[in-house]
Structure formats: structure tokens, C-alpha cells
Amino acid sequence: MDRERPQPDRDRLSVLTALVLVAYILTRVVVLPALTTEIRLLGLAVRVQVNTLSVMLVLAGALAAAGADWLIRAHPWHPAGRSTAKHWIVPGLAALGAGAILARIPQGPAWWVGLMLAAVLLLTVLATEFMLVDFDDPRYDSAAVGLTALAYLLLAGSLYAIRAGGLRATFAIPLVFLAATAVAWRLLLLERPRLESGIYASVIGVAAAQIAWGLHYWPITPLRSALILALAAYIGTGLIQAHLRGGIDRGARIEFSAVSILALLGIGFLR
């Protein structure tokens, strides 16, 4: 194995991807009895329904997270005993997001094309996370840029799915908080780990949840809502990263401006 460029185990990648794809396929061929229950929350009766899709999506996300742990622990320079939790987030979101999109595509050629694209996405995310194990890996910087782009794309997709799913605010707002916090925490850890990264990420999650609470009752399309929340998470994370570096340089200002303009154009013109 190349001392400077270790490669992820192909057998592990193949097995993991195949298991997640099987979970997607099972959503089409297995029908589980739907389970509906009511729970009391702050004096309100909240109805919770568990069906085949929800079970398989959770299974796919769990498989992706567990597989990321399995893959990262095989890295020759991963310290024994160190947690791999930060490497679970983006693969888990990728598995959940791809599954949610596939569930909305009718059975046919388009669905099979989507399944192949989901496999490529998952392989890409897992391979990228593998490169990010070691800060001294020569591929680290380019992998960090790629993971950042994928993380925001997947966050926007997850936020879209939450809004499009028609969930009540009781469930939607905590999910927005968890998604924004998890992604912000992962991206903050792309630089040298800091003890306060979790606190900063939680602040971003709270801000996203507050915005989501206000948007929840507005007649706004799911895509626009997702773009607004993803833009808020992007700006919050970027400002904190700039603060930790000691200031916003010219490159960061150009990046913030370009991404913000594109997001605002999307919010203004996309339906």
C-alpha cells in the first residue's frame, strides 16, 4: 500500500454499497404493515406512523454510517480507539437523501438510473471521507472541498425532504436542527479539531431551526425553504470558520458573495 496515498478497501466499499442498494430495492418489493401510534407531547396528541419506506430509509442511513465506521477503521493511519463519529454524518445523509429521492421516482428506467447514481454518490462520499482521515494526506485539501460541496448539497436535499414530507412542526423543526448541527459540526472539524466545534455547530443548528419555525407556516415551496435554510447554515458555518482562522480573507469574501447570489437567484426563480 502506498505510504502517502492509502486507498479504501474495495471489498468493503462494494459490500457496503450493495447492502444500501438492497435496502432501496426492498422498498419496492417488501410491504410491511404500517404502525400508527399516538404520543402525548407538551399536552398535544401527536400521531406517528411507521411504514416500509421509513424503516428502509433508516436502515439505509444506519448501514451507511456503520459502513463508514468499518471503512475508516481500516485506514492504516487511523489511531486505534479514536471515534469515527464525524465520518458517519455525510454518508448517512447521502443514503437517506438518495433513498428519499428514489422513493418519489416511479418504477421504470428512470428509477434504475437513479439507483446507479445513488451508488456512485455513496461510493464518492465514502472514498472522500477515507481521504480525510489524515490531515497530512496530500489529497486532504481537495477532498475537503469536495466533501464541503457534497455536504451542503445533501443538507439542502434533506431539508427539502423534511418540508416536502409535510411533517408537523413538532417533528420537522427538531429534524432541521439535527441536520444543520450535524453538517456544521462535520465541516468545522475539517480543520484542526477544536473542543468548541460542537458548541458552534449547535448555535448554527438553533439558528436554522428558528428560521425553519418561521418558514413552516409560510406558503413557501419546499425547494425555496430548503435553499433559504441551507444558505443560512452555509453563511453561519463559513463565518465561524473565518473567525477561527482569524478573519475573512479576499477568497472567502468572493466565495460567500458568489454562493449567496446563486442561492438568492434560486430562491427567487425556482419553484
* pLDDT-based confidence at residue 268 (cuts at 50, 70, 90): confident
pLDDT of residue 26: 86
pLDDT of residue 2: 46
Q: Which of 111-120, 164-173, 243-252 has the highest mean pLDDT?
A: 111-120
- Supply the range of the domain harboring residue 126: 1-133
What predicted TM-score, i.e. pTM, was given to this entire model?
Answer: 0.85
Q: Are residues 120 and 166 in the same domain?
A: no
What span, in angstroms and rounded, lies between the C-alpha atoms of 212 and 176?
7
What span, in angstroms and rounded, lies between the C-alpha atoms of 170 and 174?
7
What span, in angstroms and rounded, lies between the C-alpha atoms of 250 and 242?
11
Q: Which of 103, 133, 163 is the last residue of a domain?
A: 133
Q: Are residues 35 and 125 in the same domain?
A: yes
Query: Which cell numbers hold the place of 191?
Result: 480543520
Q: Which of 90, 112, 133 is the last residue of a domain?
A: 133
Q: Are residues 111 and 150 in the same domain?
A: no
pLDDT digits (tens, 9 = 90+) for 188-200: 998 777 778 889 9
Q: Are residues 270 and 150 in the same domain?
A: yes
Contact assessment for residue 159 and residue 228, using Cβ atoms and an 8 Å cutoff: no
Q: Are residues 218 and 203 in the same domain?
A: yes
**Interior CA angle at 115 toward 111 and 120, to 5°?**
145
Interacting residues of 3 by C-beta distance below 8 A, sequence separation 6+: none
Q: Are residues 117 and 161 in the same domain?
A: no
- CB neighbours of residue 259 within 10 Å: 16
Per the structure, the count of domains in the chain is 2
pLDDT of residue 117: 93
pLDDT digits (tens, 9 = 90+) for 85-104: 899 999 999 998 888 888 88
Place of cell 471521507: 129
Instruction: Report how far apart the first and last C-alpha atoms of the chain are (Å, whole number).
Output: 49
Query: Among 91-95, 145-149, 230-234, 264-268, where is mean pLDDT lowest?
Result: 264-268
Q: Are residues 31 and 109 in the same domain?
A: yes
pLDDT digits (tens, 9 = 90+) for 10-40: 888 888 899 899 988 888 887 666 666 666 6
Residue 181 pLDDT > 90: yes
Average predicted confidence (pLDDT) for the chain: 84
Q: Are residues 19 and 129 in the same domain?
A: yes
